[in-house]
Structure 1
Amino acid sequence: MTTHLDTVVVGGGAMGSAAAWALASRGRDVTLLEQFSPGHLNGASHGATRNFNPGYADPEYVAMLAEAVRLWGELEADGGGQLLARTGVVNHGTDPRLGDVRRALHAAGLRAEFLDAAEAAERWRGIRFDQQVLHMPDGGQLNPEAALPVMQRLAAGRGADVRHGVKVLDVAVQDSGVRLTVDDGGSTEVLAARQAVVTAGAWTAKLLGAQVALPRLTVTQEQPAHFAVADEGALWPGFNHIPGPGPEFADWYSPVYGMQTPGEGIKAGWHGVGPVVDPDRRSFLPEPAQMAALQRYARTWLPGVDADSLTPISCTYTTTVDENFILDRIGPLVIGAGFSGHGFKFTPVVGRILADLATGEGTAPDIFSVTRPRRR
């Protein structure tokens, strides 16, 4: 038996939940399918903190930042709880783009100010600074554990059918739309939809590889950690630290990001350098050399933590070659993928763009096209 539907959203992580919310808010008939149960730890949208880092100079991202500030506010108002804690974010190190970032944010009405290292250290003594610091007060931390249920609840309240524990086994494009074969708790079901919005995260290439010539997507298992707080009086903004050319940075794997997770400690991690994995065959265990290097980082640059007291975390990145997202429509498929470890802050904007693509009410910026050449 085949069930006929209008729009199916495949994947109920952050982006799929936002797309379902946006579509249902427009009165559209939408069904959201998520293969795991609520609150699962298998993808990229769990945990209690993500940095809302405004540190962008590219006009497409800066415009999305300004819209994201507004839409997160709408979600908080409609959902009845805080999703964005405005702790501010500080970017420091040898990043030559900080001046461009400051100018772009000011042009978009977002705040940014330079501080010298001594002033920054006085404000945030848990972090060691050795160069000029860009402070962005409009940044802070988002809470995925709170945000996803809010978006799904609001979507369901506006008519969306939200189904967990339903795994999409196959997606096939047909003349009439999309045929989806799903496993619903051990029984196979066939769904025929006019269109599908695919926001499957690390599973995107597995589902669409035979249907769409996607840009290369690399799935990695990222391994940040929560470090215990050693200085209880320290204030903690979100932070991003760019390494320099000197020998003291020789064992860095990448820039470092971090933030405070209330009740869990100070999160810190390398960006996008974890081992390549199959999302269905992950170990969830930290890579020892990278974790040891992260501890050395904490000893040197985070005097407010205990570098020997930590709890590893595991999540996935699905990364494009240039770290720009994929937001596009190919026939009856709308695709949201490749968020490359920096997409969560844009979640409600991505939902809006995917809804525009599904309804024909708008397009995505060209930098997110499936067919655009991508070069690092």
Structure 2
Amino acid sequence: MTADASYDHIIIGGGAMGSATAWQLARAGRSVLLIERFAQLHAHGASHGASRNFNIAYTEPDYLDLVAEAGYLWRALEAETDTRVLDLVGLVNHGAGEPEHHDELLHQHGFSATTLTPHEAQERWPGIRFDTRVTYTPDGGRLNPDRAIPALQAAAVRHDAEFRYDTAVRAIEVAADGQTVRVSTDDATYSAPSLVVTAGAWAHPLLDGLVALPPLRVTQEQPAHFALTAAGAADGAAALVGVDEATQALWPGFNHLAAAGDHRTDWWYSDVYGMLTPGEGVKAGWHGTGPVVDPDHRSYQPEPRQLAALQRYVREWLPGADPDRLVPVSCTYTTTPDEDFVVDRRGPIVVGAGFSGHGFKFTPAVGRMLADHALNADARPMPRFALSRFGL
């Protein structure tokens, strides 16, 4: 084993949250080592692909404030790296579960929003079918993880952070005085006064015996990209994908929200989210309904009934997409019992976990919070994200 090396901070997990934390800590002048089990960009977790909704249409003030901060930090990352990661193509919320006066709540938190009738919305976005009032905000849009994560990593490296890819962590040991953490790989042992763990579906096995975590349910989700139909392309002609600006204007991000307890269990599994992914088609998916999996033994194949139900959804609600021309996507959700995140510290170990399928939009703000905990052992967590809410 090679000689030990010491850093101010070690991070385990080089997906979105770990890379954002490395950026924040490195730009604060700290020495940082990030260790990632897989390659720099991989498809084994939750941080891959070319599109995520930048969904600002929350109703909880904590999340609205956090997504506003995230938007500012995404723009700061773009300026620092000259990389475009956020496209404000707008966002529409519709369905029986869309709360009244949602636009007024968004206004209170500094976002633009308006309410449209189904007819008004249909005229503007013919690729989506509406049967309820629609909340539209131009401040929502689409993020590109395949650009964003390398940009976060490049920004961190510019501030002298070090990354080790294809490197598995074999052991984590906290010194008897609780002041130092030692992390061992096959080739070396590293030490630091603080360790940040952002390992997604692998958080529990890594932290077993070190930090008590709530139950984290790991599921394999299966959204899909659907080809455009004539109703979904600006020129009126069917196309596999439309990437021109006129076609993109026809496709805001969207959330179709059922009333509480009103999911049609014979085929309607959950609320539906989606957006246009330039070059790939219209992405649509159920939220958090995939089968529970071991992240090390996944099939990467869609669950047939849920995929068939998703095709039925597209057939009935997305006239701009072809339900029979699709490419399934496989990713994981790691979900807490209440679907809120874990962002907290125990001793010298900081944990970011359980982002429950809706964390990516918040990435740079979560990185800021994790960095705050790593820099200050006395930093208080947001109550919504504290481990103490689970009695841990």
Normalising by structure 2, we get a TM-score of 0.91
Bigger drift between 353-362 and 209-218 goes to: 353-362
Equivalent residue letter for 2:145: P
* 1:122 paired residue number: 123
Report the AA paired with residue 146 of structure 2: E
CA distance in 2, matches of 1:5, 1:311: 43
1:139-168 deviation line (CA, Å, top 9, x unaligned): 000000001111111101101011211111
**Cα drift, residue 293 of structure 1:** 0.3
Counterpart of 2:77 in structure 1 is 75
Q: Tell me the residue number matched to 1:106.
A: 107
Q: 1:182 deviation in Å?
A: 1.4
Are 2:242 and 1:240 equivalent residues in the alignment? Answer: no
Query: Could you tell me which of 7, 10, 21 is aligned with 1:8?
Result: 10
The one-letter code matched in structure 2 to 1:365 is M
Question: Does the CA contact (< 8 Å) of 1:56 and 1:104 recur in 2?
Answer: no
Match status 1:251 vs 2:267: yes
Structure-1 separation of matches of 2:113 and 2:207 = 40
Match of 2:384 in 1: 367
Single out whichever of 114-123 and 31-40 deviates more from structure 2.
31-40
Matched residue of 1:310: which SS? strand
Please report how far the alpha carbon of residue 243 of structure 1 lies from its aligned counterpart in structure 2 after TM superposition: 2.5
Q: Which residue of 2 is the match for residue 152 of structure 1?
A: 153
Q: Which residue does the alignment assign to 1:275? A: 291
Aligned to 1:195: 194
Match of 1:310 among 323, 326, 330: 326
What amino acid sits opposite 1:372 in the alignment? Answer: R
For 2:127, the aligned partner's letter is G
| Structure 1 residue 301, shift from structure 2 partner | 0.2
- 1:321 matched to 2:322: no
CA distance in 2, matches of 1:138, 1:52: 9
Alignment check: 8 A CA contact 1:62 1:104 kept: no
CA contact (8 A) 1:229 1:306 kept: yes
Moved over 6 A (4+): 245-249
The alignment's C-alpha RMSD in Å is 1.6
Contact 2:200 2:334 in 1 (8 A): yes
**Counterparts of 2:100 and 2:365, CA distance in 1:** 24
Q: Which has the higher strand share?
A: 1
1:120 CA displacement: 0.4
Match of 2:172 in 1: 171
Q: Would you say the 8 A contact 1:255–1:270 is kept in 2? A: yes
Deviation at 1:251, TM superposition (A): 1.4
The alignment status of 1:31 with 2:33, answered yes or no, reads yes
Partner of 1:291: 307
Aligned to 1:300, the other structure's residue is in SS state helix
> 1:246 and 1:45, CA in 2 relative to 1: closer, same or farther beyond 3 A?
closer
Q: Indicate if the aligned counterparts of 2:46 and 2:332 stay in contact, CA closer than 8 A.
A: yes
Q: Cα deviation per residue 1:240-263 (whole Å; 9 max; x = unaligned)? A: 101257797741111010000001
Residue 205 in structure 1 maps to residue 204 in structure 2: yes
Q: State how far apart, in whole Å, the 2-side matches of 1:373 and 1:12 are.
A: 26
Separation (CA, whole Å) in 1 of partners of 2:208 and 2:271 = 31
SS at match of 1:372: helix
Name the residue aligned to 1:87. 89
Instruction: Give 1:114's aligned amino acid.
Output: T
Q: Is the 8 A contact 1:194 1:332 kept in 2?
A: yes
Equivalences for residues 58-73 of structure 1 within 5 A = 58-73=60-75
Q: Quote the residue 2:364 is aligned against.
A: 348
Instruction: Give 1:49's aligned residue.
Output: 51
Q: Distance in 1 between matches of 2:370 and 2:36?
A: 17
Cα distance in 1 between the residues matched to 2:263 and 2:158 = 56
Over 3 Å counting, the alpha-carbon distance change for 1:308 and 1:96 in structure 2 is closer
Cα distance in 2 between the residues matched to 1:26 and 1:81: 21
Of 274-283 and 238-247, deviating more is 238-247
- Looking at structure 1, the residues matched to 189 and 295 of structure 2 have their Cα atoms a distance apart, in angstroms, of 24
1:346 Cα shift? 0.4
Q: What 5-or-longer segments of structure 2 have no aligned partner?
A: 235-246
Q: How far does residue 81 in structure 1 lie from its aligned partner after superposition?
A: 2.1
Please state how far the C-alpha of 1:362 moved relative to its aligned partner. 4.3
Residue pair 2:263, 2:269 contacting (<8 A) in 1 also: no
Larger mean CA deviation between 164-173 and 9-18 belongs to 164-173
Secondary structure of the corresponding residue to residue 387 of structure 2 = coil
1:332 aligned to 348, 357, 360, which one? 348
Aligned residues: 369
TM-score by length of 1: 0.95
SS for the counterpart of 1:16 is helix
Aligned residue number for residue 243 of structure 2: none
The whole-number CA distance in structure 2 between the counterparts of 1:33 and 1:79 is: 22
* 2:224 equivalent to 1:222: no
